[in-house]
Structure 1
Amino acid sequence: MTEDVDIAQPADASVLDRLPMRDENGEIRHEFVAEVTRAIHETNIELLRAIVAELHEADLGDLIEALEPDDRVKLVELTGADFHFSALNEVDDSVREEILEELEPVTVAEGVLELESDDAVELLEGLDEEDQEEILEKLPAKERNTLERSLLYPENSAGRRMQTEFITVPPDWTVGQAIDYMRNTPDLPDRFYEIYPVDRAQHWQGAIALDVLLRARRPVPLVDLIDEDRRRVSVLDDQEEVARLFGKYNLVAAPVVDTTNRLVGVITIDDVVDVIEEEADQDLKALGGVTSDEELSDNVWTIARGRFNWLLVNLATAFLASSVLGLFEGQLEQMVALAVLAPIVASQGGNAATQTMTVAVRALATRELGSSNAFRVVMRESLVGLVNGIAFAVITGVAAVAWFRIPGLGVVIGLAIICNLVAGALGGILIPMVLERVRADPAVASGTFVTTITDVVGFFSFLGIATLWFGLK
């Protein structure tokens, strides 16, 4: 049951003041969603437009995801020109694609015209080529050509991430001329941090930061202020490399040039933050064997299908690990304690390997681990495995003897723990490095291989040492 809130009556307070969107924990209030839903069903356009006008695009995106699928499209249609299409870049990919496919191409085209070029590309790139073309045909020639060029660049490249709105000036201008130009030009980018001197062929000459420009006197030639060593990126650079460049050199913006050094765009820090979040999301999902495009809004069938293949691979490796137990069937029948304790050895090795693998995958992604320090890192992780192995060998050995009252059992499981933790440390660091060398994604494949190694080594070392120690057959 929802609480009725009277927000139609005139008042000095805004709609969101009278009907807050979020509670004290920052969560969307059910009453707010219910009120918006009721307004949609009652076609209360005035109220919906008032709400949409006050919401930040990120909050509007959260509201869209909280609505039922049919109501999402109706909200866009009813609010018309007041709807911020940038909000669709704040929702899950599947939700965005569903909305865009339901809307008329002319409606989407009108919304795209209000966006900066990088936001427009992000909005369109998830659609298939036929839907993209249908929307692009509704755009003016200039905007259509700009977006088509951006969409031709490789996915996850700087060319896809850049915005094509930037400020260029002739290098022979003065500071005063540049300032007057910016004051008198109505269609400047919404936000910018530097201006770019270019020649007549649009070749990049350098950059001038706004703080440097504003501190200089009007008669000063721009050529005296140009930073020719300014970091820039190529349209073909991978977005991860661009993000690393921003982090390393503390950039807030970076010019983007084509293969002939012509200035074609600019990437700003807000774009890089999105890249960092996306890459972290993909790596985290990959470590769990989840496809990078899986979203919370996906249906059961889509999620199950996406996870099936990796679970099938895991099943095959599990059978491989279990086959080791079959080699010691007779020994397991003679001493039940071995069957009880064997999973402990495998589990400890797997946990230690996962810790090492997590550090290794992150270090490879950030380029902190390479050929120059690989040997030192491998040796360090091996010694860590050995130290922890000895510590847990003592703990586990004492516990095993106290549990089963078999003195030699503590020595057997202790030695096996040492072997498996060292093996886990080596597997956790070497497997990601090998996968990186063969140009496979270490985050995707490492987990299964590392777990298989620790299971096989754990079972084999424990049961093999037990066979030798107790003389089992």
Structure 2
Amino acid sequence: MSDSELDPQAEAIVAAPAADERMDADDRLRPEFVRAVIERVEADDAEGARALVEPLHPADIADLLELVDSDERRALAAALAGLLDGDVLAEMNEWVREELIDELSATQVAEIAGELETDDAVALIEDMEEEDQRAVLRALDPDDRAAIEEALSYPEESAGRLMRRDAVAVPEHWTIGQVIDYLRAGEELATDFFEIFVVDPAHRPVGTCLLSWILRTPRRIAVADVMQREQTLIPVDMDQEEVALRFQKYALVSAAVVDPAGRLVGMITADDIVHIVQEEASEDALLMSGAGVEGDINEPVRDSYKARVRWLIANLATALVGSTIIALFGGAIEQMVALAVLMPIVASIGGNAGTQTMAVSVRALAMNQLTRSNTWRTIWREISVALLNGLTIAVLLGLGAGLVFASPHLGAVIAAAILINILVAGLSGVAVPVLLERGGQDPAVSSSVFVTMITDSMGFFVFLGLAVASGLVG
């Protein structure tokens, strides 16, 4: 396909950017641009496609590959072979990355992994089949292989998997001048770091020294005189979510990672934590909705089905509890149709109130704000909020129902029911996540199922029960 066959908008996008004039991702990844790239690929114009894509940031190239269909993705990847380096794969969606890696040989994957920081290289190969993983490791340089194998020996989602091995460390008896000379001469040092770790003869961290301090301190001054001895050390087996909490709590830019003997084995920097915070927040949101751990639009249909259907089946089971309660009061509903009209309102408002409280509680547990020391205070707080909310909604709904159905008795019944159900929602919204967490379960996974079942069932039972008990229906 020639350039003249492209639509005018696509021609403008093709002609506009030069390699040194990067446009924003929002402009470069517009549908017109994506279509122009795909049209070049379909026309076997790999050079033209590369010319369009080359000015993009590696993260934007990764986004481009995620935007196209699976069939187009392989052809596009083949056309952009020279641009698909480690930086692009490190930014790529997990499912798309695995799909592309499957098309590469072990030697090619090893070459890409060798270009990356250890943490990114681990992320690249940790989900590969064991046989493929061994083949890639065999193709790596001995030093890279040793570092990656060590990282893979740590638990998944731990600080050991997340850390970088090339932490810059100096002995405390050095002067600032020696440190500066070491940094200038060290060709094997990390390319990006914010502080230097000071270690004792056993390689245990004893302090840190920011680069800004080093640059502003006379050469003759000893490192021990300017370093900060208070520091936050990260155990190598600490869960990545706890690592992120420490970075947030103590406003860290970087932190030393230590092994069980207290020796420095790596470092974690703030840019690594940004990905973890996003990943953990997305995971919790997906788990609370029952969409599974991944919940990604690039996830295979079969995997999405298996992740979601079990929670729909669980919801079906809990819905049957509410249906059973309704069936018990079938005679009362037949006598007064208004009960059937108002009944869903009680359950719905209770469910929303429970979901609000549950979301706050799950977040508090994840952030270590809700612990054993303040559980009862938190429960009483949420009950107080529920009481105020319940009184407000009860008055509004009671007056409305009484006027619409010309029955003050009915208004009083639904007002009492909504107040009780919102109080139950407030209690269950805290209690269910706490009990699941105390039982060693992830409260984000199944809290919503239990809270919804409690509020729906109690809403139906209390409303219909009060209607019968108060003599509203026989």
TM-score (ref. length: structure 2): 0.93
Return the letter of the residue paired with 1:295.
Answer: D
Equivalent residues of 1:53, 1:83 under 8 A apart: no
Q: CA deviation digits over 1:65-94, x for unaligned, max 9?
A: 123324434444444454332222323211
What is the rounded CA distance, in whole Å, between the counterparts of 1:79 and 1:199 in structure 2?
Answer: 48
CA displacement at 1:460 relative to structure 2? 0.9
What is the rounded CA distance, in whole Å, between the counterparts of 2:13 and 2:141 in structure 1?
Answer: 40
Provide the residue aligned with 1:308 in structure 2.
309
Q: State which drifts further: 36-45 or 248-257.
A: 36-45
Q: CA deviation digits over 1:139-173, x for unaligned, max 9?
A: 11110111011011101100000011221223322
* Residues 1:14 and 2:15 aligned together: no
What is the rounded CA distance, in whole Å, between the counterparts of 1:138 and 1:454 in structure 2?
Answer: 57
Equivalent residues of 1:21, 1:32 under 8 A apart: no
Provide the residue aligned with 2:406 in structure 1.
405
Provide the residue aligned with 1:428 in structure 2.
429
Q: State which drifts further: 171-180 or 360-369.
A: 171-180
Q: State which drifts further: 124-133 or 450-459.
A: 124-133
Q: State which drifts further: 86-95 or 348-357.
A: 86-95
Instruction: Give the match's secondary structure for 2:331.
Output: helix
Instruction: Give the match's secondary structure for 2:207.
Output: coil
Provide the residue aligned with 2:128 in structure 1.
127
Equivalent residues of 1:390, 1:418 under 8 A apart: yes
Provide the residue aligned with 2:3 in structure 1.
none
CA displacement at 1:99 relative to structure 2? 0.7
Q: Between Structure 1 and Structure 2, how many residues are aligned?
A: 468
TM-score (ref. length: structure 1): 0.93
Q: State which drifts further: 85-94 or 176-185.
A: 85-94
Return the letter of the residue paired with 1:369.
Answer: L
Provide the residue aligned with 1:326 in structure 2.
327
Equivalent residues of 1:93, 1:126 under 8 A apart: no
Equivalent residues of 2:319, 2:453 under 8 A apart: yes
Provide the residue aligned with 1:5 in structure 2.
11
* Residues 1:93 and 2:94 aligned together: yes
CA distance 1:231–1:380, shift in 2 (3 Å): same
Aligned pairs for 1:56-455 (under 5 A) are: 56-455=57-456
Q: State which drifts further: 196-205 or 337-346.
A: 196-205
Equivalent residues of 1:164, 1:264 under 8 A apart: yes
What is the rounded CA distance, in whole Å, between the counterparts of 2:417 and 2:199 in structure 1?
Answer: 67
Q: State which drifts further: 191-200 or 356-365.
A: 191-200
What is the rounded CA distance, in whole Å, between the counterparts of 2:369 and 2:164 in structure 1?
Answer: 30
What is the rounded CA distance, in whole Å, between the counterparts of 1:133 and 1:417 in structure 2?
Answer: 61
Instruction: Give the match's secondary structure for 2:89.
Output: helix
Equivalent residues of 1:8, 1:47 under 8 A apart: no
Equivalent residues of 1:394, 1:414 under 8 A apart: yes
CA distance 1:117–1:52, shift in 2 (3 Å): farther
Instruction: Give the match's secondary structure for 1:337.
Output: helix
What is the rounded CA distance, in whole Å, between the counterparts of 1:8 and 1:365 in structure 2?
Answer: 47
CA distance 1:34–1:321, shift in 2 (3 Å): same
Q: RMSD between aligned alpha carbons?
A: 2.2
Instruction: Give the match's secondary structure for 1:196.
Output: strand
Q: What are the ranges of 5 or more consecutive residues in structure 1 without an aligned counterpart? A: none
What is the rounded CA distance, in whole Å, between the counterparts of 2:441 and 2:258 in structure 1?
Answer: 29
CA displacement at 1:427 relative to structure 2? 0.7
Q: State which drifts further: 248-257 or 52-61.
A: 52-61
CA displacement at 1:21 relative to structure 2? 6.9
Q: CA deviation digits over 1:77-122, x for unaligned, max 9?
A: 4444543322223232111111111112211111111111111111
What is the rounded CA distance, in whole Å, between the counterparts of 2:141 and 2:44 in structure 1?
Answer: 32
Return the letter of the residue paired with 1:448.
Answer: V
Q: State which drifts further: 49-58 or 264-273.
A: 49-58
Q: CA deviation digits over 1:194-241, x for unaligned, max 9?
A: 112334543333222111211211111222233232111011011111
